[in-house]
Amino acid sequence: MLDTTRFAYYVPTLSFSFEHDIRARFQRLHLRAQSLFISLQSMSKYPCTANDVPAIFREPFIRRGYRSIHKPWSYYWKSLFHKHNETINVWSHLLGIVYMFYLLYYYNQRLNFFGNSHSWPFAVSLATATIMFACSAFAHLLHSKSDSIHRTCFAIDYVGVSLHGFGSGFLHIYYSAPEWYYNKIEYQYIFILLLVAITACVLNCFAQHHYRRPYPPMKRVCQFLPCGILWVYSVIPLIVRLVPMQFPLDTISMCHAGQMIFFIIGATLFAFDLPQRFCPGTLDFFGQGHQLFHLCIYFVTICQMHGVFWDYEASRTIIDQRTKPDLIFCAGSMICLILCDIVAVWTFRYWLCVKKQTD
């Protein structure tokens, strides 16, 4: 039998015994973790509850940590460094911007964006992802100032969503689609992708400006349906590449399948307000479905970029023999989408101002 006394003599800092009550230890560990989690959720600096702010600022099943409205702009900028129910949402996407710049540097070393025109679709996708993270971070940081600012901030957030969906599709069709599919549908695919991305932004802006709380189910239909169509259309080249699946999957196929799985998980948590639906008020600071969605988007981006890069490496001889992408086509399509989305945001913002004056 093992002499635990001698073991404890040589390692005196460890309290170890086979006779120790393991169940009691786990109970104490659980209580400590629970206490730490409860204290983590405390947000005394921003004591507003859901009852203290107008309905438009309330999030389902989030009870505390709301910021006051109609404060100076400095109040919201300074809240970046304080604890409230949007802190994690803001910082997760600010760190996402840093990560995008790292990927820009990392892939530029390997693809030479300035000298290799076949790498331009990759640069476009990195740019659209960076804009998406920036739009979301600033929307979550500044939206609490007023009703109109709230609607405008999240309309700008939809610009980022529209751009990211477009950039993802652009990336997939150029590097990951089978050659026969690329030759058959390249320009038609990009044109339809552009229209779907614009439609997603327009319908989300419409839903944000038209509907009032308590929101009818149609609001979510107007928001999630076009975004879902945009996502499905953007991953069609991956689906064509993966079907029929052959197991075991290689590393590249695992990346492509992984990014789709992570997106579906994140979108489900976000769309159905999970897990805070089952414990209202418990996840006000950390653990909300929206935050988990942000985390899933990180994994989507990692899987997407690495999987597509390896596709390019594996098919570089074929891809480099194609007609070189036109800079105006690559950058121009992205700029066209940005301008159309800005027009949509401005139009609905103007419509909101006119409606306020007539009320």
What is the rounded end-to-end Cα distance, in angstroms, of the chain?
A: 85
The Cα–Cα gap between 29 and 34 comes to 9
CB atoms within 10 A of CB 274: 15
Query: DSSP string spanning 93-147?
Result: HHHHHHHHHHHHHHHHHHH-TTT-GGGHHHHHHHHHHHHHHHHHHHHHHHGGG-H
Rounded to the nearest 10 degrees, what angle do helices 327-358 and 120-142 cross at? 20
**Which pair of structure tokens corresponds to residue 245?**
């699946």
Query: Quick one: which of 84, 61, 143 has its CA closest to 285?
Result: 84
- CB of 140 within 8 A of CB of 89? yes
The Cα–Cα gap between 3 and 22 comes to 19
The Cα–Cα gap between 262 and 42 comes to 30
- CB of 166 within 8 A of CB of 189? no
Query: Quick one: which of 267, 266, 287 has its CA closest to 276?
Result: 287
State the sign of the Cα–Cα–Cα–Cα dihedral 278, 280, 283, 289.
positive
Peptide bond into 214 cis (omega under 30): yes
CB atoms within 10 A of CB 296: 21
Backbone angles phi, psi at 64, to 5 degrees: -130, 175
Angle at 349 between CA 343 and CA 353, to 5 degrees: 140
- 209 assigned to a ligand binding site: no
Backbone angles phi, psi at 323, to 5 degrees: -60, 135
- 164 assigned to a ligand binding site: no
- 140 assigned to a ligand binding site: yes
Stretch (H or E) spanning 75: helix 73-78
* Residues of the binding site for Zn(2+): 140, 290, 294
* Residues of the binding site: 140, 290, 294
